């Protein structure tokens, strides 16, 4: 496949690159299967060539797998990884190294001008130690975003692929990918999509398709909300409260998922989607 001959079905060309930005956070195990990863890469690469897109990724499953290979036991508190000195080395190697470069290589091969970065590169996203660092260890939270640099990259039709490793006073810090994506979406006034292993927020067997920010915050403490869903709800609520147009929690299903996520009948749980569909649907083929 040559980079000049691939066009993904479902997207119309928007050479002006004038649509509102989209911040897409990749996480979970939904792309572990090679076919799912391949479809994701092709759709994201095609979309990024015609629309402003920032891809933020974690790598929790890979970090846990490598930790276990090294005899380390993964630990979590409130959905956040406890990051001691040994775990931080694994996080750094996997997130900013293996995971980031595999994504960048695949996306460039699919025709996008992907640029691999971490939160600390160029001061892209300044971070501070988490308020509960006594329990969590070397974990950080975003405290700003260098929007001028991101806008320059997006204006040049590049695809920033951002690993969520930050630093404060020279100390490396592991940053939750949902929090990082939320901060970037808020700073850019973008739409936010948090990809997960599950289809959205389900309470008492019912998928909650639409919430406002206050409802999302309240449900984060619901007894049926566990694992990584709590930080996702809090990140989504914070994003829309501080500048993001909307936030959606959803799962990558198969080819065509990105177009579906940006449509008027998008799957998953959306926070503050008062005016569906998202702005990007102006560039979707009808």
Per-domain residue ranges of the chain? 22-283
To the query of whether residue 254 is one of the catalytic residues in this protein, the response is no
Catalytic residue among 58, 137, 140, 178: 178
Question: Which residues are annotated binding-site positions for substrate?
Answer: 59-60, 81, 174
Q: Is 231 helix (H, G, I), strand (E, B) or coil?
A: helix
- What span, in angstroms and rounded, lies between the C-alpha atoms of 186 and 178? 12
Q: What is the pLDDT of residues 23-52, one digit of tens each?
A: 999 987 767 778 888 989 999 999 998 899
Q: What is the pLDDT of residues 235-254, one digit of tens each?
A: 998 999 999 998 998 888 87
Residue 9: per-residue pLDDT: 37
Residue 128: per-residue pLDDT: 98
- What span, in angstroms and rounded, lies between the C-alpha atoms of 49 and 152? 15
Residue 229: per-residue pLDDT: 83
210-211 and 206-207 as β-strands: parallel, antiparallel, unpaired? unpaired
Q: Which residues of the chain have pLDDT under 50?
A: 1-17, 275-286
CATH architecture of the domain with range 22-283: 3-Layer(aba) Sandwich (3.40)
Q: What is the reported pTM?
A: 0.86
Give the HSE-up count for residue 160: Cα atoms under 13 Å, Cβ half-sphere.
31
Question: Could you please report the per-residue DSSP string of 106-169?
Answer: HHHHTT--EEEEETTGGGSS-EEE-TTHHHHBSEEEE----HHHHHHHHHTT-EEEEE-EEEET
CA nearest neighbour of 169 among 140, 148, 193, 190:
140
266: left (phi over 0), alpha (psi -120 to 50) or beta: beta
Give the HSE-up count for residue 64: Cα atoms under 13 Å, Cβ half-sphere.
12
Catalytic residue among 191, 232, 268, 283: 232
Burial class (CB in 10 A: 0-12, 13-18, 19+), 205: exposed
- What span, in angstroms and rounded, lies between the C-alpha atoms of 141 and 132? 11
To the query of whether residue 28 is one of the catalytic residues in this protein, the response is yes
Residue 256: per-residue pLDDT: 81
To the query of whether residue 178 is one of the catalytic residues in this protein, the response is yes
What does DSSP assign to residue 13? Answer: -
Instruction: Cite the beta strand spans of the chain per DSSP E.
Output: 22-26, 53-57, 76-77, 80-81, 114-118, 127-129, 139-142, 159-163, 165-168, 171-175, 191-196, 202-203, 206-207, 210-211, 246-251, 269-271
Catalytic residue among 60, 116, 228, 268: 60
Catalytic residue among 28, 58, 200, 268: 28
> Could you tell me the sign of the dihedral formed by the alpha carbons of 240, 229, 89, 29, in that order?
negative
Residue 271: per-residue pLDDT: 87
- What span, in angstroms and rounded, lies between the C-alpha atoms of 226 and 211? 18
Question: Which residues are annotated binding-site positions?
Answer: 59-60, 81, 174
To the query of whether residue 137 is one of the catalytic residues in this protein, the response is no
Sheet containing 171-175: order of strands: 127-129, 139-142, 171-175, 165-168
Phi, psi of 146 (to 5 degrees): -85, 80
Residue 4: per-residue pLDDT: 32
């Amino acid at each position: 496949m040559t980079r000049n001959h691939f066009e993904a079905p479902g997207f119309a060309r928007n050479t002006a690159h004038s649509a509102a930005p989209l911040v897409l956070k990749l996480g979970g195990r939904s792309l572990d299967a090679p076919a799912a990863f391949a479809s994701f890469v092709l759709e994201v690469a095609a979309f990024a060539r015609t629309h402003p897109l920032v891809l933020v990724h974690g790598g929790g499953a890979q970090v846990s797998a490598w930790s276990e290979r090294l005899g380390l036991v993964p630990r979590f508190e409130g959905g956040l990884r406890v990051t001691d000195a040994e775990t931080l080395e694994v996080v750094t190697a996997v997130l900013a190294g293996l995971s980031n470069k595999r994504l960048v290589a695949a996306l460039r091969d699919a025709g996008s001008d992907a640029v691999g970065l971490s939160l600390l590169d160029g001061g892209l996203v300044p971070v501070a130690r988490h308020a509960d660092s006594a329990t969590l260890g070397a974990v950080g939270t975003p405290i700003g975003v260098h929007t001028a640099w991101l806008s320059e990259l997006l204006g040049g039709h590049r695809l920033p692929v951002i690993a969520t490793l930050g630093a404060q006073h020279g100390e490396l810090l592991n940053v939750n990918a949902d929090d990082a994506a939320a901060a970037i979406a808020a700073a850019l006034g973008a739409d936010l999509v948090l990809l997960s292993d599950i289809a959205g927020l389900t309470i008492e067997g019912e998928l909650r398709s639409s919430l406002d920010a206050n409802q999302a915050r309240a449900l984060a403490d619901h007894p049926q909300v566990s694992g990584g869903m709590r930080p996702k709800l809090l990140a989504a609520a914070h994003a829309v409260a501080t500048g993001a147009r909307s936030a959606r929690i959803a799962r990558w299903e198969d080819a065509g998922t990105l177009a579906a996520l940006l449509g008027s009948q998008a799957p998953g749980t959306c926070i503050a989607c008062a005016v569906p569909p998202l702005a990007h649907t102006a560039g979707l083929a009808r």
